[in-house]
Structure formats: structure tokens, C-alpha cells
Structure 1
Amino acid sequence: MHDDERELYRRHAAEGVLLLGGGAAILLQLADPRVARGVAMHSDFRDRPLDRLLGTLDYVYAVGFGDDDMVATAVRTVNARHAPVRGPADDDAPAYSAFDADAQRWVASTLLAAALGLHERLHGPLDTETADVIVRNYRLFGSRLQATHEGWAESRAEFDAWWDERIAVLQVGREARFVAHALLSGTSDLPFGSRALLPPIRLITAALLPPAIRDAYGFRWTPRASRTADAWLRAIAIVWPRLPRLVRHAPLHASLRRVKRRSRYAGLEPRGRR
């Protein structure tokens, strides 16, 4: 990847406002039955969503912004968490594995789709060159694990065509709806005070989902809900660019500090314990 392309991607990815698309990305991930089964069978995500969020952020930011040691630490952490996440097909449920390359590409694609959708809702359409660069950089989130570059789009147009085909065959199952309800209803273990943010987060999450997926999750998407979500997004679009860069990039720097600490400690461990 050329340095100028990398820099363009980093200007996009450093903005903490993209975290507002996290809910939509998670629900899209769960709409794949393989991911939903893995989460339901092996994860306490629905009870401790903040831990999953921080783990995802640390990996994404390390891959996008970290040095080689930080990337290696983040990849090692994810692989260790993924190792037990596997199971055979059961009745109508598919087999699943966290090392499934196609499932990893799917997870990376949901992060990309949510980020593109949110960026354009806040700032307007991306130009073709910028969008193509962002698309190509998001493939790193899968290829740093078991996925390869094979099957990943080289352009926004190619990604959109592939995305539309995948969305058309998704089926939101019971396990996905159960986890989504726990995540967005406030029944999970959220930090004190954060439940007050759930109403706007639910609206923004629903606004970023494709209509068919939004309906499958049971969102009541009325004209009033749509107008309210638009109002929230307009307000964020006005306020966010006026915030200091230190605030806008705070999640990035917090994640890199966590990964750097783990990388430093890993370097002090005896080789046999890694």
C-alpha cells in the first residue's frame, strides 16, 4: 500500500465518530448464522459488550496504526480468543469456526459498510478515489488473520455489488435477535450512565442498517423514527468537526496505549509462556 493511500485511510479511520456505526456492524455480523452461533455458544458478548468492543477496537486500531510489534500482539490476542470458537453443524444450524476465512471477510466487510454509511450520512458522498482507498485498506482486518486478499474488492463499486448480493441472502435468526436485544435494550453489563445514550444509539444503528435487515431485527422504523435519526446525525455532523482533534481521536490513542502495554509485557514473558 502506497504511503499516500495509507495516510488517506488513516485520516478517515482516526475519527472516533465512526464508533457510532459499531452497533450496525455488530448486527450485520450476527446476521450471518455462522457468526451468530459462534457468539451465542462461546461469547459473553451479550452480557459484557464493552469487553468485546474494546477488543475489536484494539485490533482494528493496531492493524491500522500500530507498529509491527503492536500488530503482532493484537493478532496473537485475537487468535487466542478465536481458538475455541468452533463447532459442527447441528440440525438446521451451520458449522462455524472463528478461523473461517470467509466469515472473517464478512466481519471486515461489515466494519467497512458501517463506516462508509456513517461517513456519508455525516459528511456527504465520498469521492471515488477516497472510497476505493478505504475499501482496499479494510481488507487488512481479515488478511492479518486467516483470510487472504482473495475475494476482497479493489474498488467501492466492486464492494457495493458484492455487498448487495450478500445482504440479499442473509437470514437474521433467533440467536442474532437475542444478542441484539440484550445489546440495545440496556439489559447487558453497560457502564454506569451509558444507558442514557441507548435511545439515540438505537436510532442511529437502525438508520445505518439495510431496510430488510432492520425489519428482520424487529425495529419499528416509522417516519418519526427516521426524522429523529436524521436530526441526531445532522447535529453530530455539525458538532463533531468543531471538537479538538485530541477528543476526536481519543479512542484511537486509548486503544494504541492498551495494545502497546500488552506488547511490552509480552516481550518480558518467558518464550514458553507466549
Structure 2
Amino acid sequence: MRRVAGIRDIAAEAIIVAAGGRAILLQLAEPAVARGVARHSDFVAAPLRRLAGTLDYIYLVVYGTTEERDAARRHVEKAHAPVRSSEGEPLPYAADDPGLQLWVAATLYDSAMVMHDLVLRPLDPDEAERVYREYAVLGTALGMPGELWPATRAEFRAWWDERLAALTVSDEARRVAHDLLHPRAPGAPFWLRGVMPLARLVTAGLLDDRLRSAFDLPWGPIRRRLFRAVLTIARVAWPMLPTGLRHAPAVASLRRRRSRCAA
């Protein structure tokens, strides 16, 4: 059985990217995040660029040098600086709010582990605890105080379940989610639209019934069977792929970022 040393073994698996839609919708289910994305983000206009930017950040934080991690942090801080509500707005938000940074990092961690456990294998308790502790870096690299990250997986699960129960999907969140899952931006590549039905299926399948319904994602017996079939194929096929192919997005991202810095 393949041993997992830590976050570096998890984040390298490209199959984890398939849980990205779940992570984004969970983030949008926090009203303050949805308001900030709706008013300041170009997610909808440039979904691939934003996806690449998010992956670049994750890969640099996990695999980069200290200098590269610092550069990634400065880049994100600069991008996030104007993302804040105006004085007096009824729903205040700020991209550098430690609580929102915690929520975003938590959705990335939980979605990664859900996909890893479904397609590869559940981690043993020691592995899972080590990976969990290391995933805090996705928040702390942006300045989130480390003490905000729950100390153990058990504490995280209790906090997570409470946060999930309190989430409210706003009209704003539904609109952004719909646009993200049905890209119509001019110049969007044909292949992106071609893979979106599968992305919508996987995203809906990875959410619980309440959030799936709140986001108006279609679901039923046929989609449930299709989702299970996709997971079955992935479980069989993914471990058989060469490591170089499974890790290709991470390697390509690091090469792209390093070539830009060297230019």
C-alpha cells in the first residue's frame, strides 16, 4: 500500500483538482465570500486563469522554496488588498479577514481529502493527522494565525460540521456558481465547455443534499448512478496511470512560474 508522507503526496495528485468545484461552491456558501467574489473577482470572465492562479498558489506553497512561497504570498496579498466592502455596507467582507482565510483553506483541505478517500484510499489515522496539520499552510501562508486552524482532525470535524450547518446560499452565490459551472465567456475554449457536464456532475455529487439543493444543482437517480460510475472508473484507472502523468499539473505549474521569474 502506498504510504503518504504528508501534504506533498496529496497535493501532487491531479485527481484532487476534480474536487475544486466543490471547494469553490462551499466557499461561495459563506455569504461574505460570495459578496467579495461577485463584486471583485473575474472568476466568471476568466475561469481558467483563476483556476491556474489558485493551483499555482497551492503548488508554490506546498513545493516551492521559501523565496517562492514569500513571492506567492505577496502576489495574493496584492490581489486581495482591494477586495473589501465599503464602509457601512450591511454585509462586511475583506479578503484578508483571517476567518475567511480559514474557511477557504478548510474547503480546500476537506475537498482534497474527500476526493483522495473516494478515488485512492482513506488514510490511516497517523497519515491523516499529519496531512491535516500540514494543510494549515494554505491559510497561514497568507497570514492566517496558526491558532485558528483547529488543533486536531476531531476538532476540525466538529468545527466543520457546525460551519456547514450554518451556511446560507444567497442569490448572489447561486448566480456566481451557475456562471462558473456554465461558462459562456467570449473566447472560452471549446474543450472547456465539453468537460463542464462532467465537472457539474462531479461537483454536485461531492456536495451534500442540502447544499446541492440550495445551489439548484440538478440531481436524481440517473445522475447518482452516473456519478458512482465515474468514481468506479476513476478508482480503477487512476492508480494505474504513470506517476508523471498523475503529477503533471503540479510539475507544469512550478515550471511555468519559475520560467516567468527567470525571464
Q: Could you say which TM-score interval applies, normalised by the shorter chain?
A: over 0.9
Deviates more, 1:13-22 or 1:250-259: 250-259
Structure 1 unaligned spans of 5+: 266-274
Query: Once the 2 structures are TM-superposed, how far is the Cα of residue 49 of structure 1 from its aligned partner?
Result: 0.8
**Which residue of structure 2 lines up, in the alignment, with residue 270 of structure 1?**
none
Q: Which amino acid aligns with 1:134?
A: V
Cα RMSD of the aligned pairs, angstroms, is 1.8
> Is structure 2 residue 174 aligned with structure 1 residue 177?
yes
Q: 8 Å contact 1:135–1:154 — kept in the other structure?
A: no
Query: Once the 2 structures are TM-superposed, how far is the Cα of residue 124 of structure 1 from its aligned partner?
Result: 3.7
1:110-259 alignment, distance < 5 Å: 110-188=107-185, 190-259=188-257
Q: 8 Å contact 2:4–2:127 — kept in the other structure?
A: no
Q: Distance in 1 between matches of 2:256 and 2:145?
A: 27
Q: 8 Å contact 2:29–2:167 — kept in the other structure?
A: yes
Query: Once the 2 structures are TM-superposed, how far is the Cα of residue 89 of structure 1 from its aligned partner?
Result: 6.5
Q: 8 Å contact 1:70–1:263 — kept in the other structure?
A: no
Q: Which amino acid aligns with 1:180?
A: A
Q: Distance in 1 between matches of 2:235 and 2:73?
A: 33
Q: Distance in 2 between matches of 1:50 and 1:23?
A: 12
Percentage identity across aligned positions?
45
**Which residue of structure 1 lines up, in the alignment, with residue 72 of structure 2?**
74
Query: Once the 2 structures are TM-superposed, how far is the Cα of residue 211 of structure 1 from its aligned partner?
Result: 2.0
Q: Distance in 2 between matches of 1:142 and 1:262?
A: 25
Q: 8 Å contact 1:172–1:216 — kept in the other structure?
A: yes
Q: TM-score, normalised by structure 2?
A: 0.93
Q: Distance in 1 between matches of 2:255 and 2:121?
A: 32
Structure 2 unaligned spans of 5+: none
Q: 8 Å contact 2:34–2:173 — kept in the other structure?
A: yes
Q: Distance in 2 between matches of 1:75 and 1:104?
A: 13
Per-residue Cα deviation, 1:187-226 (whole angstroms, up to 9, x for no partner): 2453231211111111110111122111100112212211
Query: Once the 2 structures are TM-superposed, how far is the Cα of residue 262 of structure 1 from its aligned partner?
Result: 4.0
Q: 8 Å contact 1:133–1:155 — kept in the other structure?
A: no
Q: TM-score, normalised by structure 1?
A: 0.90
Alpha-carbon distance change, 135 to 218 in structure 1, aligned in 2, over 3 angstroms:
same
Task: Give the number of aligned pairs.
Answer: 260
**Which residue of structure 2 lines up, in the alignment, with residue 271 of structure 1?**
none
Query: Once the 2 structures are TM-superposed, how far is the Cα of residue 181 of structure 1 from its aligned partner?
Result: 0.6
